[in-house]
Copies of this chain bind each other. A is one copy, B any other.
Amino acid sequence: MRFELTKELIELLRTKIAEQDLAWIHENVLELHHAEVAEILDTLTNDEAKYIYFLVDEDTQADILMELDEEIRDRFLASLSTKEIADQLENLDSDDAADILGDLTEEKIREVISQMEDDEAAEDIVDLLNYDDDTAGGLMQKEFFQAHVTWPVNRAIIELRKQAEDVEKVYNIFVVDEQDRLLGVLSLKRLLFANAKTKIADIYQSKKIISVKASDSAEVVAMVMEKYDLVSVPVVDYQNKLVGRITLDDVVDYIKEEADKDFQMATGITDNVDSNASTWRISRSRLPWLVIAMVGGTIGAKVISNFEGSITKIPAMAFFIPLITAMGGNVGVQSSAIVVQSLARGDKDLGRILPKLWREAQVGLMNGIFLASLIFGVASVFENSELGVVVSVSLFTVILFAAIFGTLFPLILNRYKIDPALAIGPFVTTLNDIIGLFIYFSIGLLIYGS
Protein backbone atom coordinates (compact mmCIF):
# COMPACT_ATOMS: atom_id res chain seq x y z
CA MET A 1 0.00 0.00 0.00
CA ARG A 2 1.39 3.36 -0.93
CA PHE A 3 0.96 6.16 1.60
CA GLU A 4 -1.68 8.74 0.85
CA LEU A 5 -2.14 11.90 2.83
CA THR A 6 -5.77 12.33 3.92
CA LYS A 7 -7.59 15.16 5.64
CA GLU A 8 -8.76 12.65 8.26
CA LEU A 9 -5.19 11.69 9.20
CA ILE A 10 -4.23 15.35 9.59
CA GLU A 11 -7.29 16.14 11.71
CA LEU A 12 -6.65 13.15 13.93
CA LEU A 13 -2.96 13.98 14.25
CA ARG A 14 -3.80 17.53 15.33
CA THR A 15 -5.97 16.32 18.19
CA LYS A 16 -3.30 13.76 19.15
CA ILE A 17 -0.69 16.51 19.20
CA ALA A 18 -2.96 18.61 21.41
CA GLU A 19 -3.39 15.60 23.70
CA GLN A 20 0.35 14.83 23.51
CA ASP A 21 -0.53 11.21 22.70
CA LEU A 22 3.04 10.07 22.00
CA ALA A 23 2.18 6.39 21.58
CA TRP A 24 -0.29 7.14 18.80
CA ILE A 25 2.03 9.60 17.08
CA HIS A 26 4.89 7.12 17.14
CA GLU A 27 2.89 4.33 15.64
CA ASN A 28 1.04 6.34 13.02
CA VAL A 29 3.45 9.07 12.00
CA LEU A 30 7.01 8.52 13.12
CA GLU A 31 7.05 5.03 11.63
CA LEU A 32 6.44 6.50 8.19
CA HIS A 33 9.11 7.20 5.60
CA HIS A 34 10.79 10.59 6.13
CA ALA A 35 9.41 11.90 2.82
CA GLU A 36 5.91 11.09 4.07
CA VAL A 37 6.52 12.71 7.45
CA ALA A 38 7.70 15.82 5.59
CA GLU A 39 4.50 15.76 3.53
CA ILE A 40 2.49 15.71 6.75
CA LEU A 41 4.51 18.49 8.37
CA ASP A 42 3.90 20.65 5.28
CA THR A 43 0.22 20.76 6.22
CA LEU A 44 0.59 21.55 9.95
CA THR A 45 1.09 24.83 11.77
CA ASN A 46 4.68 25.66 12.58
CA ASP A 47 4.27 24.81 16.26
CA GLU A 48 2.71 21.45 15.47
CA ALA A 49 5.40 20.67 12.90
CA LYS A 50 8.12 21.61 15.36
CA TYR A 51 6.62 19.33 17.98
CA ILE A 52 6.71 16.32 15.64
CA TYR A 53 10.10 17.24 14.21
CA PHE A 54 11.88 17.16 17.53
CA LEU A 55 10.38 13.74 18.38
CA VAL A 56 12.47 11.98 15.72
CA ASP A 57 16.18 11.13 15.80
CA GLU A 58 18.77 13.53 14.37
CA ASP A 59 19.42 11.69 11.12
CA THR A 60 15.74 11.51 10.29
CA GLN A 61 15.40 15.19 11.21
CA ALA A 62 17.94 16.02 8.53
CA ASP A 63 16.10 13.88 5.97
CA ILE A 64 12.76 15.45 6.83
CA LEU A 65 14.16 18.98 6.72
CA MET A 66 15.38 18.57 3.14
CA GLU A 67 12.03 17.15 2.01
CA LEU A 68 9.92 19.99 3.40
CA ASP A 69 8.31 22.44 1.03
CA GLU A 70 10.68 25.40 0.63
CA GLU A 71 8.24 27.93 2.08
CA ILE A 72 7.48 25.68 5.04
CA ARG A 73 11.18 25.07 5.65
CA ASP A 74 11.95 28.78 5.61
CA ARG A 75 9.13 29.38 8.10
CA PHE A 76 10.41 26.56 10.28
CA LEU A 77 14.03 27.73 10.27
CA ALA A 78 12.99 31.31 10.98
CA SER A 79 11.39 30.07 14.20
CA LEU A 80 14.61 28.41 15.42
CA SER A 81 17.45 30.04 17.38
CA THR A 82 20.87 30.27 15.71
CA LYS A 83 22.08 27.51 18.02
CA GLU A 84 19.22 25.26 16.94
CA ILE A 85 19.92 25.99 13.27
CA ALA A 86 23.60 25.18 13.83
CA ASP A 87 22.62 21.82 15.35
CA GLN A 88 20.42 21.01 12.39
CA LEU A 89 23.12 21.90 9.87
CA GLU A 90 25.55 19.45 11.44
CA ASN A 91 23.27 16.58 10.50
CA LEU A 92 22.87 17.65 6.90
CA ASP A 93 24.97 16.85 3.86
CA SER A 94 27.32 19.77 3.26
CA ASP A 95 25.63 20.83 0.00
CA ASP A 96 22.20 20.95 1.64
CA ALA A 97 23.60 22.82 4.65
CA ALA A 98 25.25 25.38 2.37
CA ASP A 99 22.02 25.84 0.39
CA ILE A 100 20.05 26.52 3.56
CA LEU A 101 22.70 28.81 4.98
CA GLY A 102 23.02 30.68 1.69
CA ASP A 103 19.44 31.95 2.10
CA LEU A 104 20.22 33.71 5.40
CA THR A 105 21.69 37.17 5.94
CA GLU A 106 25.48 37.60 6.19
CA GLU A 107 25.20 38.30 9.88
CA LYS A 108 23.05 35.28 10.64
CA ILE A 109 25.40 33.06 8.61
CA ARG A 110 28.33 34.18 10.79
CA GLU A 111 26.34 33.56 13.98
CA VAL A 112 25.21 30.10 12.93
CA ILE A 113 28.69 29.05 11.79
CA SER A 114 30.23 30.19 15.07
CA GLN A 115 27.72 28.05 16.98
CA MET A 116 28.56 24.86 15.11
CA GLU A 117 30.47 22.33 17.21
CA ASP A 118 31.84 20.18 14.41
CA ASP A 119 34.65 22.40 13.05
CA GLU A 120 35.30 20.24 10.04
CA ALA A 121 31.65 20.32 8.96
CA ALA A 122 31.60 24.10 9.48
CA GLU A 123 34.70 24.47 7.34
CA ASP A 124 33.19 22.40 4.52
CA ILE A 125 30.07 24.52 4.54
CA VAL A 126 31.97 27.81 4.56
CA ASP A 127 34.01 26.51 1.65
CA LEU A 128 30.89 25.61 -0.35
CA LEU A 129 29.38 29.05 0.31
CA ASN A 130 32.13 30.52 -1.86
CA TYR A 131 30.76 28.94 -5.01
CA ASP A 132 28.02 30.34 -7.22
CA ASP A 133 24.73 28.46 -6.96
CA ASP A 134 24.73 27.48 -10.61
CA THR A 135 28.25 26.09 -10.84
CA ALA A 136 29.58 22.61 -10.14
CA GLY A 137 30.97 24.00 -6.87
CA GLY A 138 27.51 25.15 -5.89
CA LEU A 139 26.01 21.74 -6.60
CA MET A 140 28.69 19.54 -5.08
CA GLN A 141 28.92 18.04 -1.62
CA LYS A 142 32.00 17.43 0.47
CA GLU A 143 30.96 13.93 1.51
CA PHE A 144 32.40 11.18 -0.68
CA PHE A 145 34.54 8.06 -0.45
CA GLN A 146 38.17 8.41 -1.41
CA ALA A 147 40.96 5.87 -1.40
CA HIS A 148 44.68 6.23 -1.97
CA VAL A 149 45.97 4.41 -4.99
CA THR A 150 48.69 2.76 -2.90
CA TRP A 151 46.35 1.12 -0.40
CA PRO A 152 45.58 -2.58 -0.53
CA VAL A 153 41.89 -3.55 -0.51
CA ASN A 154 41.75 -4.47 3.18
CA ARG A 155 43.25 -1.12 4.25
CA ALA A 156 40.84 0.65 1.90
CA ILE A 157 37.88 -1.05 3.56
CA ILE A 158 39.06 0.03 7.01
CA GLU A 159 39.62 3.61 5.88
CA LEU A 160 36.32 3.75 4.03
CA ARG A 161 34.51 2.53 7.12
CA LYS A 162 35.76 5.67 8.88
CA GLN A 163 34.48 7.83 6.04
CA ALA A 164 31.26 5.88 5.82
CA GLU A 165 29.44 7.69 8.60
CA ASP A 166 29.37 10.95 6.67
CA VAL A 167 28.61 9.57 3.25
CA GLU A 168 24.99 8.65 2.86
CA LYS A 169 24.77 7.37 -0.69
CA VAL A 170 27.75 5.61 -2.15
CA TYR A 171 28.09 4.73 -5.79
CA ASN A 172 31.81 4.98 -6.42
CA ILE A 173 35.08 5.43 -4.64
CA PHE A 174 37.33 8.14 -6.01
CA VAL A 175 40.97 7.11 -6.21
CA VAL A 176 43.60 9.78 -5.51
CA ASP A 177 47.37 10.11 -5.19
CA GLU A 178 49.32 11.51 -2.23
CA GLN A 179 48.48 15.06 -3.27
CA ASP A 180 44.74 14.28 -3.44
CA ARG A 181 44.81 14.53 -7.21
CA LEU A 182 42.09 12.50 -8.90
CA LEU A 183 43.50 9.41 -10.61
CA GLY A 184 40.40 7.36 -11.26
CA VAL A 185 37.32 5.64 -10.00
CA LEU A 186 36.64 2.31 -8.31
CA SER A 187 33.16 0.85 -8.21
CA LEU A 188 31.91 -0.47 -4.89
CA LYS A 189 31.02 -3.71 -6.68
CA ARG A 190 34.61 -4.21 -7.77
CA LEU A 191 35.89 -3.54 -4.25
CA LEU A 192 33.38 -5.95 -2.75
CA PHE A 193 34.60 -8.83 -4.90
CA ALA A 194 38.32 -8.05 -4.71
CA ASN A 195 40.91 -9.97 -2.78
CA ALA A 196 41.98 -8.39 0.55
CA LYS A 197 45.63 -8.12 -0.48
CA THR A 198 45.05 -6.71 -3.97
CA LYS A 199 46.27 -3.16 -4.43
CA ILE A 200 43.75 -0.50 -5.39
CA ALA A 201 46.23 0.43 -8.10
CA ASP A 202 45.54 -2.89 -9.79
CA ILE A 203 41.77 -2.77 -9.86
CA TYR A 204 40.67 0.85 -10.25
CA GLN A 205 39.60 2.36 -13.52
CA SER A 206 42.09 5.01 -14.59
CA LYS A 207 41.10 5.50 -18.22
CA LYS A 208 38.23 7.54 -19.63
CA ILE A 209 37.59 9.16 -16.27
CA ILE A 210 34.96 11.84 -16.41
CA SER A 211 35.18 14.72 -13.95
CA VAL A 212 33.99 18.32 -13.85
CA LYS A 213 35.76 21.46 -12.65
CA ALA A 214 34.34 23.30 -9.66
CA SER A 215 34.01 26.38 -11.88
CA ASP A 216 32.02 24.56 -14.60
CA SER A 217 28.45 25.77 -15.00
CA ALA A 218 25.53 23.67 -13.78
CA GLU A 219 24.50 23.37 -17.42
CA VAL A 220 27.81 21.71 -18.26
CA VAL A 221 27.46 19.36 -15.27
CA ALA A 222 23.97 18.31 -16.39
CA MET A 223 25.15 17.76 -19.97
CA VAL A 224 28.19 15.74 -18.86
CA MET A 225 26.18 13.55 -16.47
CA GLU A 226 23.54 12.92 -19.12
CA LYS A 227 25.97 12.27 -21.92
CA TYR A 228 28.11 9.87 -19.94
CA ASP A 229 25.19 8.35 -18.01
CA LEU A 230 26.72 9.04 -14.60
CA VAL A 231 25.06 8.68 -11.19
CA SER A 232 27.81 10.67 -9.54
CA VAL A 233 30.67 12.74 -10.87
CA PRO A 234 33.87 13.85 -9.10
CA VAL A 235 34.57 17.60 -8.93
CA VAL A 236 38.18 18.80 -9.21
CA ASP A 237 39.94 22.16 -8.91
CA TYR A 238 42.40 23.66 -11.39
CA GLN A 239 45.19 21.40 -10.14
CA ASN A 240 42.99 18.33 -10.63
CA LYS A 241 42.64 17.96 -6.86
CA LEU A 242 39.46 16.22 -5.79
CA VAL A 243 37.21 18.73 -3.99
CA GLY A 244 33.71 17.22 -4.07
CA ARG A 245 31.14 15.12 -5.85
CA ILE A 246 27.79 15.74 -7.47
CA THR A 247 25.05 13.12 -7.49
CA LEU A 248 22.40 12.67 -10.16
CA ASP A 249 19.44 13.50 -7.90
CA ASP A 250 20.76 17.04 -7.42
CA VAL A 251 21.17 17.43 -11.16
CA VAL A 252 17.65 16.11 -11.86
CA ASP A 253 16.30 19.11 -9.99
CA TYR A 254 18.40 21.39 -12.14
CA ILE A 255 17.25 19.71 -15.38
CA LYS A 256 13.62 20.17 -14.36
CA GLU A 257 14.17 23.84 -13.60
CA GLU A 258 15.72 24.37 -17.03
CA ALA A 259 12.75 22.75 -18.77
CA ASP A 260 10.44 24.94 -16.70
CA LYS A 261 12.34 28.02 -17.80
CA ASP A 262 11.71 27.37 -21.51
CA PHE A 263 8.05 26.79 -20.75
CA GLN A 264 7.87 30.07 -18.83
CA MET A 265 9.59 32.02 -21.58
CA ALA A 266 7.15 30.63 -24.14
CA THR A 267 4.19 31.63 -22.01
CA GLY A 268 5.47 35.06 -21.02
CA ILE A 269 6.03 34.58 -17.30
CA THR A 270 9.59 35.56 -16.38
CA ASP A 271 9.02 33.83 -13.14
CA ASN A 272 11.97 33.55 -10.86
CA VAL A 273 9.42 35.26 -8.63
CA ASP A 274 8.62 33.10 -5.58
CA SER A 275 5.09 31.78 -5.42
CA ASN A 276 4.77 33.54 -2.08
CA ALA A 277 5.82 36.90 -3.53
CA SER A 278 3.49 39.87 -3.21
CA THR A 279 0.82 40.50 -5.84
CA TRP A 280 2.73 43.61 -6.79
CA ARG A 281 5.91 41.67 -7.52
CA ILE A 282 4.10 39.02 -9.57
CA SER A 283 2.29 41.73 -11.47
CA ARG A 284 5.59 43.48 -12.18
CA SER A 285 7.23 40.29 -13.44
CA ARG A 286 4.53 39.86 -16.09
CA LEU A 287 4.16 43.49 -17.16
CA PRO A 288 7.21 43.61 -19.46
CA TRP A 289 5.64 41.02 -21.78
CA LEU A 290 2.31 42.77 -21.71
CA VAL A 291 3.86 46.15 -22.43
CA ILE A 292 5.63 44.62 -25.44
CA ALA A 293 2.30 43.24 -26.64
CA MET A 294 0.68 46.64 -26.07
CA VAL A 295 3.35 48.54 -27.96
CA GLY A 296 2.86 45.99 -30.75
CA GLY A 297 -0.89 46.52 -30.61
CA THR A 298 -0.38 50.27 -30.85
CA ILE A 299 1.87 49.91 -33.88
CA GLY A 300 -0.77 47.59 -35.32
CA ALA A 301 -3.35 50.35 -34.76
CA LYS A 302 -1.07 52.74 -36.61
CA VAL A 303 -0.75 50.31 -39.53
CA ILE A 304 -4.53 49.91 -39.77
CA SER A 305 -5.11 53.66 -39.46
CA ASN A 306 -2.93 54.13 -42.53
CA PHE A 307 -5.50 52.07 -44.38
CA GLU A 308 -8.48 53.92 -42.86
CA GLY A 309 -9.73 54.59 -46.37
CA SER A 310 -10.02 50.88 -47.08
CA ILE A 311 -12.08 50.29 -43.95
CA THR A 312 -14.41 53.20 -44.64
CA LYS A 313 -14.92 51.83 -48.15
CA ILE A 314 -15.07 48.13 -47.25
CA PRO A 315 -15.96 47.78 -43.52
CA ALA A 316 -15.94 43.98 -43.97
CA MET A 317 -12.14 44.20 -44.20
CA ALA A 318 -12.17 44.76 -40.44
CA PHE A 319 -14.00 41.48 -39.80
CA PHE A 320 -11.00 39.33 -40.65
CA ILE A 321 -8.36 41.27 -38.70
CA PRO A 322 -8.39 38.85 -35.73
CA LEU A 323 -8.21 35.84 -38.04
CA ILE A 324 -5.12 37.15 -39.84
CA THR A 325 -3.27 38.03 -36.62
CA ALA A 326 -4.23 34.80 -34.82
CA MET A 327 -3.08 32.58 -37.68
CA GLY A 328 0.21 34.42 -38.10
CA GLY A 329 0.83 34.12 -34.36
CA ASN A 330 0.03 30.42 -34.15
CA VAL A 331 2.09 29.39 -37.16
CA GLY A 332 5.03 31.48 -35.96
CA VAL A 333 4.94 29.93 -32.49
CA GLN A 334 4.78 26.40 -33.89
CA SER A 335 7.84 26.99 -36.06
CA SER A 336 9.94 28.70 -33.39
CA ALA A 337 9.03 26.08 -30.79
CA ILE A 338 10.42 23.34 -33.05
CA VAL A 339 13.67 25.24 -33.51
CA VAL A 340 13.99 26.02 -29.78
CA GLN A 341 13.52 22.34 -28.97
CA SER A 342 16.15 21.18 -31.37
CA LEU A 343 18.57 23.84 -30.11
CA ALA A 344 17.90 22.72 -26.52
CA ARG A 345 18.71 19.15 -27.56
CA GLY A 346 22.11 20.35 -28.68
CA ASP A 347 21.67 20.50 -32.47
CA LYS A 348 24.20 23.19 -33.05
CA ASP A 349 25.63 22.64 -36.48
CA LEU A 350 23.83 24.58 -39.15
CA GLY A 351 24.17 21.53 -41.36
CA ARG A 352 21.21 20.06 -39.58
CA ILE A 353 19.29 23.27 -39.15
CA LEU A 354 19.14 24.41 -42.76
CA PRO A 355 17.12 21.37 -43.85
CA LYS A 356 14.76 22.24 -40.98
CA LEU A 357 14.20 25.72 -42.37
CA TRP A 358 13.42 24.21 -45.75
CA ARG A 359 11.09 21.70 -44.11
CA GLU A 360 9.26 24.44 -42.21
CA ALA A 361 8.83 26.45 -45.41
CA GLN A 362 7.32 23.38 -47.07
CA VAL A 363 5.00 22.75 -44.13
CA GLY A 364 4.00 26.43 -44.23
CA LEU A 365 3.33 26.17 -47.96
CA MET A 366 1.17 23.09 -47.53
CA ASN A 367 -0.81 24.38 -44.56
CA GLY A 368 -1.07 27.78 -46.20
CA ILE A 369 -2.67 26.35 -49.35
CA PHE A 370 -5.10 24.20 -47.36
CA LEU A 371 -6.21 26.90 -44.94
CA ALA A 372 -6.34 29.62 -47.59
CA SER A 373 -8.68 27.51 -49.72
CA LEU A 374 -10.88 26.91 -46.70
CA ILE A 375 -11.05 30.59 -45.77
CA PHE A 376 -11.73 31.57 -49.39
CA GLY A 377 -14.99 29.62 -49.13
CA VAL A 378 -15.84 31.07 -45.73
CA ALA A 379 -15.12 34.70 -46.64
CA SER A 380 -16.93 34.39 -49.99
CA VAL A 381 -20.09 33.14 -48.31
CA PHE A 382 -19.66 35.71 -45.57
CA GLU A 383 -19.34 38.69 -47.86
CA ASN A 384 -18.37 38.18 -51.51
CA SER A 385 -15.72 36.40 -53.54
CA GLU A 386 -13.66 39.58 -53.89
CA LEU A 387 -13.17 39.65 -50.09
CA GLY A 388 -12.60 35.87 -50.31
CA VAL A 389 -9.64 36.51 -52.60
CA VAL A 390 -8.22 39.26 -50.36
CA VAL A 391 -8.50 37.19 -47.18
CA SER A 392 -7.24 33.92 -48.65
CA VAL A 393 -4.28 35.42 -50.51
CA SER A 394 -3.34 37.38 -47.37
CA LEU A 395 -3.70 34.35 -45.14
CA PHE A 396 -1.49 32.29 -47.41
CA THR A 397 1.19 34.98 -47.48
CA VAL A 398 1.01 35.51 -43.72
CA ILE A 399 1.32 31.77 -42.96
CA LEU A 400 4.30 31.33 -45.26
CA PHE A 401 5.99 34.40 -43.86
CA ALA A 402 5.30 33.41 -40.23
CA ALA A 403 6.70 29.90 -40.81
CA ILE A 404 9.96 31.23 -42.22
CA PHE A 405 10.30 34.11 -39.77
CA GLY A 406 9.39 31.83 -36.82
CA THR A 407 12.18 29.46 -37.82
CA LEU A 408 14.81 32.10 -38.45
CA PHE A 409 14.21 34.32 -35.43
CA PRO A 410 15.28 31.88 -32.69
CA LEU A 411 18.30 30.93 -34.79
CA ILE A 412 19.33 34.57 -34.97
CA LEU A 413 18.82 35.06 -31.22
CA ASN A 414 20.91 31.97 -30.60
CA ARG A 415 23.71 33.25 -32.82
CA TYR A 416 23.86 36.39 -30.68
CA LYS A 417 23.87 34.33 -27.47
CA ILE A 418 20.34 35.38 -26.52
CA ASP A 419 18.09 32.61 -25.17
CA PRO A 420 16.17 31.48 -28.26
CA ALA A 421 13.12 30.56 -26.14
CA LEU A 422 12.51 34.32 -26.01
CA ALA A 423 11.40 34.00 -29.62
CA ILE A 424 8.32 31.96 -28.76
CA GLY A 425 6.89 34.48 -26.33
CA PRO A 426 4.78 37.59 -26.94
CA PHE A 427 7.70 39.23 -28.71
CA VAL A 428 7.33 37.25 -31.92
CA THR A 429 3.54 36.93 -31.99
CA THR A 430 3.46 40.71 -31.73
CA LEU A 431 5.90 41.18 -34.57
CA ASN A 432 3.95 38.69 -36.66
CA ASP A 433 0.73 40.61 -35.91
CA ILE A 434 2.14 43.86 -37.24
CA ILE A 435 3.59 42.36 -40.37
CA GLY A 436 0.46 40.29 -40.94
CA LEU A 437 -1.76 43.38 -40.76
CA PHE A 438 0.45 45.20 -43.21
CA ILE A 439 0.32 42.29 -45.65
CA TYR A 440 -3.47 41.99 -45.29
CA PHE A 441 -4.28 45.63 -45.90
CA SER A 442 -1.71 46.00 -48.67
CA ILE A 443 -3.25 43.09 -50.54
CA GLY A 444 -6.68 44.59 -49.88
CA LEU A 445 -5.56 47.87 -51.38
CA LEU A 446 -4.07 46.05 -54.36
CA ILE A 447 -7.25 44.14 -55.11
CA TYR A 448 -9.89 46.69 -54.22
CA GLY A 449 -7.83 49.66 -55.47
CA SER A 450 -7.47 52.78 -53.36
Contacts and interface: CB of A to CB of B under 8 A. Distances in A.
A417 interface: no
Contact of A263 (B32, B255, B262, B291): B262
Interface stretch (A14-22, A129-137, A187-195): A187-195
Contacts of A302: 319, 382
Contacts of A170: 187-189
Nearest to A313: B315
A115 interface: no
Given A33-B208, A304-B318, A330 B293 contact: yes
Contact of A371 (B290, B331, B337): B290
Interface in A215-240: 224, 226-229, 231
B231 A334 contact: no
Contacts of A108: none
A187 B226 CA distance: 24
Contact of A362 (B279, B289, B312, B319): B279
Interface residues of A, number: 108
A326 interface: yes
Nearest to A171: B171
B359 A279 contact: yes
B286 A430 contact: no
A443 interface: no
A385 interface: no
Interface in A327-346: 327, 329-331, 333-334, 336-338, 341-342
Contacts of A188: 170, 188-189, 192
Interface stretch (A73-81, A98-106, A267-275): A267-275
B437 A367 contact: no
B437 A289 contact: no
Given A208-B33, A255-B252, A322-B301, A341 B263 contact: yes
A72 interface: no
Contacts of A374: 291, 294
- 7 shortest A-B CB distances, which residue pairs? A297-B323, A259-B259, A267-B337, A301-B319, A318-B318, A300-B322, A283-B366
